[in-house]
Amino acid sequence: MLNTATKTEAPGTEQELTDGFHLVIDALKLNGLTTIYGVPGIPITDLGRMAQAAGIRVISFRHEQNAGYAAAIAGFLTKKPGVCLTVSAPGFLNGLTALAHATTNCFPMILVSGSSEREIVDLQQGDYEEMDQLAIAKPLCKAAFRVLHAADIGIGFARAIRAAVSGRPGGVYLDLPAKLFGQVMNAEAGKKSLVKVIDPAPAQIPAASAVKRALDVLRSAKRPLIILGKGAAYAQADEAIKSFVEKSGAPFLPMSMAKGLLPDLHPQCAGAARSTVLKDADVVMLIGARLNWLLSHGKGKTWGEAPKKFIQVDIEPREMDSNVEIAAPLVGDIGSCVAALLEGMGGSWPAPPADWVGAVKSKRDENVAKMAPRLMNNNSPMDYHGALGVLRTIIKERPDAILVNEGANTLDLARGVIDMHQPRKRLDVGTWGVMGIGMGSAIAAAIETGKPVLAVEGDSAFGFSGMEVETICRYNLPICVVIFNNDGIYRGTDVNSAGSDPAPTVFVKGSRYDKMMEAFGGIGVNATSPDELKRAVNAAMDSGKPTLINAVIDPASGSESGRIGNLNPQSVLRKK
Ligand SMILES: Cc1ncc(C[n+]2csc(CCOP(=O)(O)OP(=O)(O)O)c2C)c(N)n1
Ligand SMILES: [Mg+2]
């Protein structure tokens, strides 16, 4: 329903009026955007209040970057743009990192920022929080728009929504100057100006010839491999993807946020035989996964000597051949492509050669067996494996819980150890490996899904968004944060050889992050052994109460940069 106000224009003439504030709210509601993540302030404080009064859920954060990460992951989880609302200049800039992150990760998100007086900003006359926000946002997102007239709010939001979710999803910036909110117009005309976006992400059907080519290449494989990326998880075509993978009989490898699309314990899962399958496969089919740094660009040592053919399923045609030649590009939305592939496979599809499937299985079983005893240790202080072994069991017993994960060792080891059992249950640092997504992702996951959330955080990673534990307590969210506290970044053991300042990678030793949660009325626990950790996490997941567990990890047990230490440039002089 349109929000309206009655105002007397002149004696005896009354007309129903609306204004910019109400049109923004109505545009959001009309398009089913019912949650705003943001931080209040001039010129959007009243917008937040009015949105809340109108039934929109307004989640107020302590820092816009965290609100932005929340909006980004809400987009991933729901296929609707997550909305982040900020003030001008500094608030906008704080939200911008998340907008760029959303774009890089192909998550639909709209950053809505208030901005200052156009006339003053454009003449650079020093307005309150003066900044040409539109120009700054443009190169960092998929699309950027500014609305100057109340009558254009409807179309502005329509453009933003469509740009965010259609084709390859991404971040969109919407600039709303302060003056817009107070602009008044006739309520009926205002209502007519709103746009309900019909079919915001139209299906993109792949060409029949491309489907045939892809299936021909796949059928020719002696050692096929399917790689599932987070684009496949985003598509919400879970059943079709599962049927396709199972019908193909090929081993599959889930990228981090695609874990659980098919369960990690599925017999075809090659997660624990990653290096073997990447080296030895002869045909690799990428579904919603890009050949970026996370897959070593499709070439080099990781991919071995054997020549490979790639099949790539992606909605973005320009993704094809971005790093290596794609023998069979299949362009379309993942759901439509996978449905077409399934249909093209017909009733019988030849199983891949048994020696390949067998070789992958024995490598996987061997690696899993090697890891098993390490996960069962009850050392105190804990090492990563002891602590993660416990969390792995907890997620197995609670497969619908959402796991948020960031850090270096805390990320890389948890990704390998904690099996996922359902789609879109693992949320992490994404394409950039960004620290700081933790509390925003956990909050949005709890808000959007209503499921319990377990956030497994390096102590450094947590610090980027730690103040949001107050937000978690304020909204009483079912979030259990476990901090892998090893006194620092990668390790807590570095020393400064040249002075009294601490080394750049270490933090205060023996910190008690659990006290932070207690400060806001949540539950804090200090856990020094896997047994204690297990008890505390289970209690938190049962109660649904905001909880933070300080898990004391041996400061010496991590390695530099986790699993990607090889990306560190080396100084030749260091060896002198
Ligand atoms: C925004 C951002 N800043 C800095 C980094 C560099 N960085 C990578 S991992 C990491 C923290 C690793 O420490 P921690 O979270 O404690 O995990 P640990 O390895 O100790 O388990 C940092 C600062 C980053 N990835 N993103
Ligand atoms: Mg650490």
* pLDDT attached to residue 306: 84
Integer Cα distance of 111 and 6 in angstroms:
31
* pLDDT attached to residue 481: 99
For ligand 1, whether the C-beta of 170 sits within 6 Å is no
Counting from 1 in the atom list of ligand 1, the atom nearest the Cα of 97 is: 1
Place of tokens 């992400």: 201
Question: Is the Cβ–Cβ distance between 469 and 523 less than 8 Å?
Answer: no
pLDDT band at 261 (very low <50, low <70, confident <90, very high): very high
- 499: Cβ–Cβ under 8 A, 6 or more apart, which residues? none
For ligand 1, whether the C-beta of 465 sits within 6 Å is no
Integer Cα distance of 5 and 146 in angstroms:
25
Ligand 1 geometric centre to CA of 73 (Å):
20
* pLDDT attached to residue 10: 59
Ligand 2 geometric centre to CA of 490 (Å):
5
Ligand 1 geometric centre to CA of 29 (Å):
38
Of residues 101 and 14, which shows the higher confidence score? Answer: 101
Least confident segment among 95-99, 140-144, 497-501 = 497-501
* pLDDT attached to residue 573: 86
Mean pLDDT of 281-304: 97
For ligand 1, whether the C-beta of 113 sits within 6 Å is no
For residue 112, give the amino acid letter.
Answer: V
Q: What is the largest distance, in Å, between two alpha-carbon atoms of the chain?
A: 90
Mean pLDDT of 326-338: 98
For ligand 1, whether the C-beta of 459 sits within 6 Å is yes
Please choose from 429, 460, 491, 506 the residue to mutate so as to test ligand 1's pocket, defined by most ligand atoms within 8 A of CB: 460
Counting from 1 in the atom list of ligand 1, the atom nearest the Cα of 462 is: 15
Pick the residue whose CA is nearest to atom 8 on ligand 1. Answer: 408
For ligand 1, whether the C-beta of 438 sits within 6 Å is no
Place of tokens 């993109």: 204
| CA-wise closest residue to 418 among 441, 370, 385 | 385
Ordered DSSP codes for 68-110? HHHHHHHHHHHSS-EEEEE-SHHHHHHHHHHHHHHHHHT--EE
pLDDT band at 576 (very low <50, low <70, confident <90, very high): very low
Neighbours of ion ligand 2 (CB under 5 A): 458-459, 486
* pLDDT attached to residue 486: 98
pTM, to two decimals: 0.97
* pLDDT attached to residue 15: 82
Beta bridge partners of 286: 227, 312
pLDDT band at 103 (very low <50, low <70, confident <90, very high): very high
Mean pLDDT of 129-154: 97
For ligand 1, whether the C-beta of 536 sits within 6 Å is no
Please choose from 435, 459, 554 the residue to mutate so as to test ligand 1's pocket, defined by most ligand atoms within 8 A of CB: 435
> Quick check: 416 pLDDT over 60?
yes
| CA-wise closest residue to 83 among 20, 161, 8 | 161
3 state DSSP class of 138: helix
